[in-house]
Structure 1
Amino acid sequence: MGTPGAELERLVEIMRRLRAEGGCPWDREQDLRSLRPYLVEEAFEVLDEMDRVAQGGPWQPLCEELGDLLFQIVFHAQLASELSEFSMADVSKAIADKIVSRHPHVFGEKRADGAEQVLANWAKLKAEEKKRKTGSEGSVLDGVPTAAPALLRAERLTEKASRIGFDWPDLAGVRGKLDEELGELDEAIASGDRDAIEHELGDVLFSLANLARFIKAPAEDALRMAIRRFTTRFQHIEGALRAEGVPFGEATLEHMERHWQAAKTREKALPPPTTLPRAPLSTVRLRVPDLAAQRAFWDALAPVLGWASPRSPPDHASYESGSLRLDFLAGAAAAPSGALVLILEAPSRRAVERLGTWLQTHQPGALGEQSPGRLTFRDPAGLAWEYATPAG
């Protein structure tokens, strides 16, 4: 497996070729304006996978979405490089320099007693940097995007203000402020004044976001999880009504409420994961009697599968799919016939057909059974493999 630096350089070179003469027509047409929606979309897809991991889901999809987001950054840096504005190296250097300068308690002589002092020091260092660049310290609230979701923005603004001491001394004060704002909202609702209602509702939401920050339960995340629960429960209602044959839109509120409560009960019956899955299968290591023959076979097969062949010691032959690594080692017999079948997931039926054609042409003796979306083959070590789509 390559180093982060080497893989990033490879990605930068891929991006350069996509944009170069004779590269990809779509990539060559893009500019900063056209790429904006893709950047936002990829960021939200990363957030979706983070939520799934938090609920006990696998990590590999998050890795893939982070890669998609990184590609957007590399794409923007390439556009800037073509105009001689800055390069990906400049982007990496700028953030590295910034992180080092804002962590003097790690990379310098300063000490920091706890996270709160780290944040306070960060605010001071940021203000000093801005003063050197612009002549003014600016506002401690600078840097929160105006286009960010409102709840997220409210929380970040109060968090930034707290770095210079503008904060409630304890949770009781924050909770009391929320009660005060709810009382004022009730008065506005009673008055029927639409402007007053909007004003006071905004204050309530802002107070809730501040409370969320104080209790370390981000409001944007909490609301997103509530939306997910609502969606799951409501879809349960829809499915139950369809199963009962209730015509669309004709169920009573009481009928739907019964199914809603059933969905909540089912939800509570499934305990949340106590641990997250942090040990997925990453490497399969197999000993084979003839490593040279095995290497020759898999060196030719790997590109057909879309796998990489990383550099390995002489007594290893290694191949990677992105989520799985195969290591073949010299020195022992392979498993007896039929004792072990290794199954690889194919991305499409076309991929299965392509592999079948390759095997028929280059390794006809290796190909076994073949049907739409599935085939089997054996390698020189006698190991049995199945290559199939999920629907197989």
Structure 2
Amino acid sequence: MRTPEVGPVGSVPLVLRCGTGVLNEAETVWVAMLDGWAAQQFARNLSAGTVEGRRSTVMRFRRFAEAYPWQWTASVVDEFFLELRAVKGAARSTVLGYQNALRMFLEYLTDPAYGWGEQCWERFGEHPAQVFHEWNTARHAQDAVATPGKRPYTRDELEDLFDCADDRVLRIRQAGAKGWIPAFRTATIMKVAYAWGLRRNEVRCLDLVDIATNPRAPQFGNAGIIYVRHGKAMRGSPPKRRSVLTVPEFDWAVECLRQWTDQVRPLYAPARSTWLWPSERGTAAIAADSLSRAFNEVKREAGLDDDLDFHSLRRSYVTHLIEAGYDAFFIQQQVGHEHASTTSIYTGLSPDYRARVVDGAIHRMAAAAMTTSKEY
């Protein structure tokens, strides 16, 4: 016999046992709402990390409001985000992420298909309402929400950054301290991230087998291609994979990488470890927080601006390939952007490059004018 339909995943009949007496009815319904929303998101193939992050945001708002979702008001929204921005100094991207999560949660609760409005009205004489509107939330009006200080490094800044990282290795080693290998690891990671345009998580999760030869560019040896297996994932999708070709402008980084894999890493990594950048214990790749702390120490020692972060190495990669004359679509494929407009946001062309472009245009116009005058 066929089981009757009870509604979509996350609906009331599937997550809340109706007609059962409970000690704290409101809390029971609240927990069932969270469980139902999680089930609905998992049914849409969203990752566990995404679901848990959104759940944490909703629970944080619930604690601040000291009220259940069927009691939330627009005034509480204003108070919550005023504190988040003015008192705690949250970034615009953080605020936007919180608002999106809360808006989606209320969209789920107010959708008649899931039955929460009717259930709350029967139990509490109130029902959830959408309190996140255009007039009281931030709008995602552009592709990038980073602060204006987020930009590519200039070539001089990159030279200062890498020189400082190398000097730290020499200084620590000459002092006889054991920390020179982690310092060497940090210096090499920075150079690899820049020379192949990798994100922090992409570079730290590299494995030895992710470095391969490019038959059409044998001059780069075993580092002609880097296979990225932990690229930035789209919502509800696994990590995005891509291959990044080594380009002649960054051939110096091939030797840096070879020195690490052949000479330094064997002194540090356990025998069976395949991580390219093993942690101090050797059981996993270097942690993201550890890499960020090490990078920031080098950056501060080099005297660079705080807004210039690890991701600015990737911005520099895009910018310098454009200045070198590489095709825009090739660059887009190298960095794994879905849209060309995203790649353009990363670009911060130097004044010298722009001056050369204008100078070249002037010379072409002058040559064309001379050709025309000779014809007459």
Normalized against structure 1, the TM-score is what? Answer: 0.23
Structure with the largest fraction of strand: 1
Q: Which has the larger radius of gyration?
A: 1
Q: Using CA pairs below 8 Å that are at least 6 residues apart, which structure has the higher relative contact order?
A: 2
Q: TM-score, normalised by structure 2?
A: 0.24
